[in-house]
């Protein structure tokens, strides 16, 4: 007969803090129970410290502001939330609080997640109010654009990129997302004309990029592979260039206008570099990324 060792705790798989400049904190929760994660999303977004929340694949992402608040919790109406966010000494302290089952999620489930430096949690269960503070290492967002790895005879960029993402991830470099980006179908495409952007939360961005490049060089089937890396919280400065690449064929000289963008570096300089850079700002923007544009309109 099956047994359950701890029937009233559902540990989160991992918690990750992605940070940029002042006021730029994204909490990424890898959940195990979709229903619990959706319940949290519904209630946690009522906290004044939560600017926005999105469900991206197996993660719930909270864009946070720093501060400490006393949440007026009320059963059913506002039973749980995030009450504290503080950055210090390379760590982000996130405080959760909840009532009843919300307290179990806030205390037991979050404090038992992997990826945390340390945690302090209240006893939880029943109808009690309970909370926890978890300390997460600050990590940087690293976006790696890849294009042109296949030939008309074999290969597929989206599969190779994902396999590389899985191969290089570790405790310091967490693989967060994979986005396929539809580009304008130029005449020299293999078939579908898509690029890929991989997203990581990284403690060592340069070492991570070097590992990705090494595997890409080893396994690409093309002599025109492009790889670009953006390290930073928001790659929005690249959107005008990316939009042009989705709408029509772009001359390689256009790269010169974005090459000096803060946070952007070029690692493989083949013809695919155009698509690699263009993919970067579409990370997790799946509907826009997959839209096929037929021209400049």
Strand partners of residue 180: 196
Q: Are residues 124 and 153 in the same domain?
A: no
Q: Which residue has the higher pLDDT, 182 or 3?
A: 182
Residue 4 lies in a domain: no
Residue 7 lies in a domain: no
Q: Are residues 155 and 64 in the same domain?
A: no
Say if CB 283 and CB 143 are below 8 A apart. yes
Of 86, 118, 138, which one is at a domain's C-terminal end? 138
What is the structure's pLDDT at 152? 67
Looking at the structure of the chain, the number of domains it has is: 2
What percentage of residues in the chain have a pLDDT greater than 90?
Answer: 76
Q: Look at the block and give the residue holding tokens 């359950």.
A: 4
Average pLDDT over residues 41-47: 97
Q: Which residue has the higher pLDDT, 146 or 257?
A: 146
pLDDT (tens digit per residue) in 252-285: 888 888 999 999 999 999 989 999 999 999 999 9
What is the structure's pLDDT at 297? 40
- Helix, strand, or coil here: 202? strand
- Helix, strand, or coil here: 212? helix
Beta-carbon count within 10 A of 76 CB: 8
- Cα–Cα distance for residue pair 178/174, rounded to 1 Å: 12
Q: Are residues 279 and 155 in the same domain?
A: yes
Average pLDDT value for the chain: 92
pTM of the model: 0.94
In this structure, what CATH number is given to the domain that contains residue 266? 3.30.70.2200
Tell whether the model's pLDDT for residue 192 goes beyond 70. no
Say if CB 139 and CB 233 are below 8 A apart. no
Residue 296 lies in a domain: no
Q: Are residues 86 and 116 in the same domain?
A: yes
End-to-end CA, the chain = 63
Of 93, 120, 138, which one is at a domain's C-terminal end? 138
Residue 295 lies in a domain: no
Residue 5 lies in a domain: no
What is the structure's pLDDT at 251? 81
Q: Are residues 270 and 152 in the same domain?
A: yes
Q: Are residues 122 and 56 in the same domain?
A: yes
- Alpha helix (H) residue ranges in 178-248: 205-219, 239-247
- Kind and range of the H or E element at 218? helix 205-219
Domain extent at residue 103:
14-68+76-138
Q: Are residues 112 and 194 in the same domain?
A: no
DSSP label at residue 74: B
Q: Are residues 89 and 155 in the same domain?
A: no
Half-sphere exposure of 192 (CA within 13 A, CB side): 15
Average pLDDT over residues 103-129: 91
Q: Are residues 215 and 258 in the same domain?
A: yes
Of the pLDDT bands very low, low, confident and very high (cuts 50, 70, 90), residue 188 is low
């Amino acid at each position: 007969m099956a047994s359950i060792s701890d029937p009233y705790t559902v540990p989160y798989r991992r918690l990750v803090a992605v940070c940029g400049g002042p006021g730029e904190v994204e909490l990424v929760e890898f959940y195990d129970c979709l229903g619990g994660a959706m319940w949290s999303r519904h209630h946690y977004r009522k906290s004044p410290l939560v600017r926005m929340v999105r469900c991206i694949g197996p993660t719930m992402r909270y864009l946070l502001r720093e501060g400490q608040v006393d949440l007026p919790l009320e059963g059913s109406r506002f039973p749980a939330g995030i009450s504290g966010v503080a950055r210090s000494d390379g760590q982000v302290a996130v405080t959760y609080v909840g009532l009843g089952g919300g307290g179990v999620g806030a205390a037991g489930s979050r404090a038992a997640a992997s990826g945390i430096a340390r945690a302090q949690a209240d006893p939880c269960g029943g109808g009690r109010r309970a909370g926890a503070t978890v300390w997460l290492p600050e990590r940087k967002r690293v976006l790696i654009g890849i294009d042109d790895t296949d030939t008309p005879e074999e290969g597929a960029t989206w599969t190779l990129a994902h396999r590389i993402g899985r191969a290089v991830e570790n405790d310091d470099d967490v693989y967060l997302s994979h986005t396929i980006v539809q580009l304008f179908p130029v005449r020299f495409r293999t078939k579908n004309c898509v690029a890929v952007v991989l997203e990581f939360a990284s403690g060592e961005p340069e070492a991570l990029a070097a590992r990705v490049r090494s595997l890409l060089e080893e396994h690409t089937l093309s002599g025109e592979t492009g790889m670009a890396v953006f390290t930073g919280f928001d790659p929005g400065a690249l959107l005008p260039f990316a939009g042009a690449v989705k709408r029509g064929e772009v001359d390689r000289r256009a790269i010169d206008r974005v090459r000096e963008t803060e946070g952007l570096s070029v690692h493989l300089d083949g013809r695919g570099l155009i698509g690699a850079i263009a993919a970067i700002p579409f990370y997790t923007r799946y509907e826009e990324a997959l839209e096929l544009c037929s021209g400049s309109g």
